[in-house]
Each structure stands twice: as structure tokens, then as C-alpha cells.
Amino acid sequence: MPTTPENFQVDLRGIVEILSHHLYSSPRVYVRELIQNARDAVVARGEDVPPIELVVDPAAGSLTVRDHGIGLTEADARSLLSTIGASSKREELAAARREFLGQFGIGLLSCFLVVDQIEVVSRSARDPQAPTMRWIGYGDGTFTVSPAEQPLEEPGTLVRVHARPDEAEWVGTDRVFRLAREFASLLAVPITFAVAGDPRPAVRVSGDPAPWDLPGKAAAAWCEDAFGFAPLASIPLDLPMLGIRGVTFVTGEATPGRGRAGDRVFSHGMSVASDNTQLVPEWVSFARVAIEAGSLSLTASRESLHESAALATAREELGHQVRAGIERLAAGDPEVFARFVDVHGQSLLALAVAHPEMLEFVARHLTWETSSGPLRLVEMPARITFTTQDRDFSSYAPIVQAQGDLLVNGAYTHGAAMLRAYDQAQSRLTAREFELTRLLENLPEPRGEDAALAERIGTVARGVLDAHGVAVDVRAFRPVSQLVLHVPGRAAGFVFEEVEDDPWADMLGGGAPREQEDPRPTLVLNLRAEAVRALGGTLAPATRDDAIRALHLLSLLQAGIRLQAEEQALLAGALQTLLLAAS
């Protein structure tokens, strides 16, 4: 029977443009969409039917998908695309595919990413006498519908696609098999894969047990195969009201700065994403998740989840379940939990910041670097200070320790935020951010005979360093190994307390005069150090002056400040003077 080409009642070229540039991330999804259509058709029929068959023909450059599902009538095939509407908008495609789930799906159009022609041969299961119809869609926006020359013996649908020459890889044997396994391995519907002309029997690509249903060793093996690592621990996930089930695999290695690697998400058994970050909170950076999304709706591309109140609720509850799993791990397997804390301490900090109820838990288990060695917050004294930069901790921890106080390194990601939150959440411990000016104020001043020596050394040092724009202060503090201390000036970004001027004070003659803060950086000399005390002795003036310059440059290096070329030359000259004086 001759056929006359008909036009799609849609802008097919516009749809293909959306598919290729805006909807789908890769042409690989066409395999998933063909399997999805076949699976939906089988489910819609609701009977025990033979497996869905995927057959690759390398010689013809084609893929054929045969199902024994509900099938199509000629009227079904003609009417389907007209229901999408003349506007090629992504939202309308999404609505249409939801409406026609289980029928000749919108996803079939994804085949146009790799082919110019789609052939559909189908026989409806609704009518035992239904004829077999043949539908062919073309990339130019036309299609034909006619009785099939070779009727199907059983109801169902056969879809055959021939790849364009430049897209031949997408119908290759290995490529189609890998994609079929990736997408369909957890589907309950039987699906087989075969190669045309190959005498070997078809291979089953579906029906694997879900990882959340596997026992420990088998689940760990699945994780290693899917995610590439052997899990340190696993945490089950279950939201029955939404049909969500899954398993969290905790990694045994830290991934600093990388954020979440993404999760393997399934929808009714079909794999829809391998790098999804929507279902589990961002702070779960120590794990990857395999999860069935249940009743959560998908976007039009079926590659991500539709943002909704249900998704937000699920994400929050899954976060609670992961958190509870960590607490169970701490109580039930201290050895594994200790490894977890050692590897994923930063993630615990993020957890505590996101969930204040976890602050005490982290305080009990996480070890901090302090001036007195590794300590947990519950082991620290009632008053502590913390730094927000590693450089400050390295520079000032020995001094703070020598004064009998405790300095905590809060420079880890989320470290300072966690300490501030903990300070507000309880009353046993007070945590304050480290302030260099306060440290300087609390350093002891020289007394007795040392006061005169300090004055003499200070006067000489100021005479040398004034030319370099550096102020001088002399204190006597421990440890004696700390010869000098650098205090940044206001120009270096250090913030001094500002007191607002009172215009009435000058007019009325009231108010005491204020001592002006010196805006310059300051060299603090430690009079307890023998090298500093020697500056007040009988050194030759040139040797003494270069020693003062060397001490100033040493303070910069200790503070992590890189010397400029002029300062490097000054240091070299000072060292030469000192070495010659010692020879």
C-alpha cells in the first residue's frame, strides 16, 4: 500500500535543537530512552511477557529494540506527536512525557541525536485483531504510517535505528552493551543483549539486586565497581513515604576542596544519573550514595530531579539519616570511626556548622591542633583563643603556650565557624578569636634593672629602624627561643580600635588627651633572649646596628612575610657584618 509523507504537527527541527543543545547532556541517552519506552510498554501491558531484546547489527550500523508490551495502533502513532503542541518548549516536552508515560514516549525523539530515521513497527495488545502498523519518522520533520509488510506475530513494538556515519560509534557493540548495563542493570523487567549473526546466546543486562539490598561484602564490591573505591563504612537510607531507598558509601580517603563527587540515582530501577548532587546535603562530602528516587519527579531530560518541596524534604531527612549513621558508627565501631575522623575531620566540621545539634558530638570526637598538642574541645580549658590562619598559629602558638594560655588552630575549612558556633551553644568553654594586639598587651614588660636595659636597647633600635618605618617595643617573655615578634602596622591591614572624635570636647576643653596609636609595623624584642640582651653590651656600633636589622628581618620571616629584593640585600649585608665580627 503506497504511503504519503505527512508532516509532524510540531516544529521537529526545533525539538531536535532542544534535545541536542539544551535537554540531553549526551547522545548516549538515546539507549536509555529506548529501553525506558520498552520497559514502560511492558509494565503498561501488565502480563508476563518475553524479555525485551536489544540487538546490535554491526554490518548495518543499527540497533533494534523489541518489546512485547502494550503496543501502538495507527491512531496512537498519528496522534501522539500532535499532542505535544506546536511550541518546542522544554517545559511542554516534560509535561507531554509525563502524560504519555508507558506509551510511544517523547524520549523516542532522542534517537534523532544520532540518526536521521526512526522505524517503529508495532501491534497493539488492546485489540486481538489489531493489525501491525509501520511508522517511520525522518529528521526533516516528516513521517509515514502504513501497514507493515511483515506483521508481528505477537503484540508489542520493534524500534530500529540506523546511525548516521559520523555517529556510528553510538550503535557499536561494546558501546551499546556498556550503556545497557549502566542504565538497565537494576530494572526488574528482563532485558537481553545480542549481536546479529553471532551464534552466542543473548546476555541478560537487567535484574541485578540493588546495592542497598546486598549484604556487606557484596555491597562493598558494588561500590568499588561503580564508584572506584572500597568503602570504609556504609549507612542505609530509607524514606518509605516517598519510596526512596539507598545506601551511603563512606570513602576511606579525604577529598579536600573537591566538594561532593555526586551520587548514582535510579528512578524505578532505571539509572538516570551517576553524578547527581541534589538528594544528599553538600556537607556529606565524605561519601557517595546509590539511591532509588522513588516518587520524586524527574526533569524533562530524565537526567536530574525536579526541584520541589518533596525533594527538599527528602534531602533534609536523608541528611538526618546520614548523621544518625555516623553516630551509630561512633558507638558501635570505635576503630572504624577513629579512621573516619582522621580522614574526614573537615566534613565533621561542616556537619556541625550545618546541624547545631551535632556540635557536642563533634566536640567529643574531633581532635584539634593546639599550642599544647592535639586536644578535643571537651579536653580544653575554660578559656581558649583560636586563629583563622595557619601562619598565625605557627607564629604565635609557642608564645601563647609559654604564657600559660591555649591557642587552637581554627584555620581548617569550617573550623572557625564551628568554634564560634560552639562558643554560643554552651557555657563551659569560651572561645575567642586570636588578636595579636591583645597578646602584645599581655606580654610582661621588663622590671627592675632590666627596665633600664630595655630602655637603652629600645632607644638604639629605634635609631636604626626609624629609617625603615618600623616601631620598636621591648618586652620580656617566654619562650626565650622567640627572639622577636612582628606586629603588622595599620598599612598592612591590621585593624586598630577606632575612637570617634568628640567635637564638643575641644570646644569645651573637656576630655583627657589620647595617646595616638603608632600606625607603623612594630618589632617586639624579647629581653629574655641572650642575643637581644647583647644589643645593650659592648658591641661595635656597626655590628650592633646590623644585628638589629637582622632581627627585624627575622621577625618578618617568622611571620611568613616574603622579603623584597631590597630587604634580601639588607639581610645579606647584615649577616656579612656579623660573620666578619665573629671571625
pLDDT tens-digit series, residues 323-340? 999 999 999 999 999 999
Torsion sign across C-alpha atoms 26, 31, 34, 35: negative
Model confidence at 438: pLDDT above 60: yes
User: Grid coordinates 600606625 are at which residue?
Assistant: 519
Q: Number of H helices and number of E strands within the chain?
A: 17, 22
Model confidence at 13: pLDDT above 80: no
The DSSP symbol for 248 reads E
Measured between its terminal Cα atoms, the distance across the chain in Å is 112
Query: What long-range pairs does 462-466 form, CB within 8 A, spacing at least 24?
Result: 464/545, 464/548, 464/549, 465/523, 465/548, 465/549, 465/552
Cell numbers that stand for 204 in this block: 541478560
Model confidence at 211: pLDDT above 80: yes
Cell numbers that stand for 530 in this block: 641572650
* Better pLDDT: 574 or 428: 428
User: Grid coordinates 644585628 are at which residue?
Assistant: 547
Q: For 135-169, what is each residue's pLDDT tens digit?
A: 888 877 777 888 999 999 999 999 999 999 999 99
Confidence of residue 214 (pLDDT cuts 50, 70, 90): very high
- Residue 58 preceded by cis peptide, ω within 30: no
Model confidence at 84: pLDDT above 90: no
Average pLDDT score over the chain: 87
Q: Give the CA angle between residues 20, 95, 292 to the nearest 5°.
A: 80
Q: What percent of the chain has pLDDT over 70?
A: 85
pLDDT for position 254: 79
Confidence of residue 346 (pLDDT cuts 50, 70, 90): confident
Cell numbers that stand for 63 in this block: 540497533
Name residues whose C-beta falls within 8 Å of residue 472's C-beta, 6 or more positions apart in sequence: 458, 461, 462, 465, 522, 523, 525
Confidence of residue 258 (pLDDT cuts 50, 70, 90): low
Torsion sign across C-alpha atoms 449, 454, 459, 460: positive
pLDDT for position 466: 95
Sheet of 407-409, strands arranged across: 407-409, 383-387, 430-433
pLDDT for position 251: 95
The DSSP symbol for 468 reads G
Candidates 13, 33, 318; CA nearest to 170 is 33
Confidence of residue 87 (pLDDT cuts 50, 70, 90): very low
* Domain annotation for the chain: domains and CATH numbers: 6-204 (3.30.565.10), 211-332 (3.30.230.80), 353-434 (no CATH), 445-494+519-582 (1.20.120.790)
**What backbone phi and psi angles, to 5 degrees, belong to 111?**
-60, -25
Cell numbers that stand for 375 in this block: 586536644
Classified as helix, coil or strand, 94 is: helix
Residue 472 · residue 465 · CB < 8 Å: yes
Measure the CA–CA gap between 550 and 260, rounded to whole angstroms. 48
Other CB atoms closer than 10 Å to residue 542's CB: what's the count? 11
pLDDT for position 472: 96
pLDDT for position 496: 40
User: Grid coordinates 637582622 are at which residue?
Assistant: 550
Q: For 549-563, what is each residue's pLDDT tens digit?
A: 999 999 999 988 999
Measure the CA–CA gap between 122 and 135, rounded to whole angstroms. 8
Measure the CA–CA gap between 175 and 178, rounded to whole angstroms. 5
Classified as helix, coil or strand, 229 is: coil
Query: What long-range pairs does 143-152 form, CB within 8 A, spacing at least 24?
Result: 143/5, 143/6, 143/7, 143/8, 143/81, 144/3, 144/4, 144/5, 144/6, 145/3, 145/6, 145/74, 145/77, 145/78, 146/1, 146/3, 147/1, 148/121, 150/121, 151/123, 152/121, 152/122, 152/123
Confidence of residue 270 (pLDDT cuts 50, 70, 90): very high
The DSSP symbol for 21 reads I
pLDDT for position 93: 47
pLDDT for position 88: 45
**What backbone phi and psi angles, to 5 degrees, belong to 136?**
-125, 125
Torsion sign across C-alpha atoms 207, 201, 274, 116: negative
Which amino acid is residue 265, in one-letter code?
Answer: V
pLDDT for position 577: 87
Residue 400 · residue 439 · CB < 8 Å: yes
Model confidence at 63: pLDDT above 80: yes
Model confidence at 10: pLDDT above 70: no
The average pLDDT across 37-63 equals 93
pLDDT for position 518: 80
Candidates 298, 309, 302; CA nearest to 31 is 302
Model confidence at 390: pLDDT above 60: yes
Q: For 470-512, what is each residue's pLDDT tens digit?
A: 999 999 999 999 999 999 987 444 444 444 454 444 444 444 4
pLDDT for position 495: 43
Q: What are the Cα distances from residue 449, in Å, to 453, 456, 524, 527? A: 7, 11, 19, 12
Name residues whose C-beta falls within 8 Å of residue 357's C-beta, 6 or more positions apart in sequence: none
pLDDT for position 100: 41
Classified as helix, coil or strand, 139 is: coil
Residue 417 · residue 283 · CB < 8 Å: no
231-269 burial, b at 16+ Cβ within 10 Å, e below that, comes to bbbbbebebeebebbbbbbbbbeeeeeeebbbbbbbbbb
Measure the CA–CA gap between 336 and 358, rounded to whole angstroms. 19
Model confidence at 308: pLDDT above 80: yes
Q: For 113-135, what is each residue's pLDDT tens digit?
A: 899 899 999 999 998 889 999 98
Model confidence at 96: pLDDT above 70: no
Model confidence at 382: pLDDT above 50: yes
